[in-house]
Amino acid sequence: MSIPTKKLRNIFHLTSSGLNETDVQTASMPLEKKPPEPWTPLCHDVSPVLPTAIIYCEGNFGKIDGKTANGLVRHSNNYRILSVLDSENAGLDSGVILDGEANAIPIVANIEDALLHAKTTPDYFIFGIAPSSGLLSDSEKAIILNAMSLNMSIVNGLHEFLSDDPIFLEASIKNNVHILDIRKPKNKEELRTFSGEIHDVKCPRIAVMGTDCAIGKRTTATMLTNGLRKKGLNVVMIATGQTGIMQGAPYCVALDAVPSQFCAGELEAAIVKAYELEKPDLIIIEGQGALSHPAFSTSSFILRGACPTGVILQHAPKRLYRVDFANMPMPSIASEINLIETFSDTSVIGLALNHEGMPLDEALTTISAYSAEFGLPVTAPLLQPKEQLLQIVLSAYPLLTSKIEEKR
């Protein structure tokens, strides 16, 4: 039987402060927990001491709408993830569900179980679901308010801004916690239009694009960035969505929350800033949606604002229809490549496969077939050795290999 929430709150107020039994018996006032310092969502620095967090992903972990939780479990520079809340998978290891390999981040049924596992109050409660509506249900709002009452700050990646809601604002003041609305844009007077400065960025710029939403673009971009860094290259990743920002990308902009007039300029500005400050060998840009997708236009802004010198295209061969659009068939790889290379002065340098729904033998056969058909290197990043993904970039840009040799 779960311990009541109020009792849990009292337990963790006392145990986190190191009080002994006598202190507990004589304590007459609840102890306040100092909230972690807030950061600026659109471009923030990674804290040297990671705050702790639990992720809410009820009924969606490992699924498409759970992509924020999935991404944070795989990679996070901003938070130390303690557990994932999803009663449908309670008791399982989150890494086993995602990638077949345990990561010691358990899945629990509710907040009470998450606190029992953590043995302390986490710093943050992250809403890890990304529904197409971008809005919260009443039951989800109640769960978030409960987390705030337990002295957890809130990380919200939806288009519904909790910091604008009087009820949540009052709760944040009452419980001395922060609300981080990741998609909340800058003031309009701070937004920038495209200037052409992107052409002063002389290092290679690779955009990871796709044939649909939630197809693995961010994961592939992150794997590329981390893998090439391990080889000694100075690589910067530009995050363009809420999950990448939550993961801790220092150079970032939530493009789908920016007025369209400023999207290309804001992305350009983030890339130029990264280039000037970091002097990178390579810049990786996280793609969004698909250029061919009739419901979204973010990919066009990425091609315009980043002017990528190369593109890696992500595709899911077994996906027949676009996510959340059952009447929209998936585009072919050939048509997407043609559209990208017609719309922008760039080239597709390789293909990354999302192997969802594919057994190993079918995935490998498909990779061979695509490589022969398109004359491009092809890999499944979550299925095959990571080196194959890195070689797509190194083969396209031989000077990067020379830089690796120089730095050894």
DSSP output for 201-250: --S-EEEEEESSSSSSHHHHHHHHHHHHHHTT--EEEEE-SHHHHHHT-S
- Average model confidence (pLDDT) across the chain: 90
Quick: pLDDT tens for 222-253.
999 999 999 999 999 999 999 999 999 999 99
pLDDT of residue 190: 95
Q: Residue 132 — very low, low, confident or very high, per pLDDT cuts 50/70/90? A: confident
Q: Residue 329: enclosing H or E segment and its boundaries?
A: strand 325-329
How many other CB atoms sit within 10 Å of the CB of residue 319?
18
Would the CA dihedral through 345, 260, 247, 43 be positive or negative?
A: positive
Same fold, 5-181 and 190-407: yes
Q: Which CATH superfamily is domain 190-407 in?
A: P-loop containing nucleotide triphosphate hydrolases (3.40.50.300)
Listed residue (116, 144, 96, 93) closest to 15, CA to CA: 116
This prediction has a pTM of 0.86
DSSP assignment of 174-205, as one string? HHT--EEETTPPPPGGG-----SGGGG--S-E
Fold (topology level) of 5-181? Rossmann fold (3.40.50)
Cα–Cα distance, 92 to 97 (Å, whole number): 8
Give all strands of the β-sheet with 205-210 in edge-to-edge order: 251-252, 235-239, 282-286, 205-210, 310-315, 348-353, 378-379
Listed residue (248, 242, 247, 250) closest to 283, CA to CA: 250
Quick: pLDDT tens for 17-44.
333 433 333 333 333 444 444 333 333 3
pLDDT of residue 44: 34
Q: Residue 213 — very low, low, confident or very high, per pLDDT cuts 50/70/90? A: very high
In this structure, what token pair is assigned to residue 176?
Answer: 């001395």
pLDDT of residue 182: 95
What are the structural domain ranges in the chain? Answer: 5-181, 190-407
Quick: pLDDT tens for 90-102.
999 999 999 999 9
